[in-house]
Amino acid sequence: FDPEQANVSLRIEIYVDGKSSVVVEANIFRHDLKENRIGTGCHGFMHIFSPSLDKNSDHLIVVRSLSDNVDIARASINCQHW
């Protein structure tokens, strides 16, 4: 989210274990974002990994803004419980 351009959706790149997986547009409405005055609230995103992530391994997921190459989120996950 760029407060200078509150109505513009970000293009983001999702990395899995250091490798680019997909580029998506963060343009899905989220009520919590709107309530917290994060632009129009249309800055959410969703992605279903295909193929699915290996359930027997830990994975590092990084979400990066393409406009400024800054990491927005980073998480280590294990899919065994999904």
pLDDT in tens, 44-61: 999 998 888 988 889 999
**Which residues have a Cβ under 8 Å from the Cβ of 72 and sit 6 or more positions away?**
12, 63, 64, 65
What is the number of alpha carbons within 13 Å of residue 61 lying toward its C-beta? 16
Average pLDDT over residues 61-81: 90
Q: Can you give the pLDDT at residue 7?
A: 83
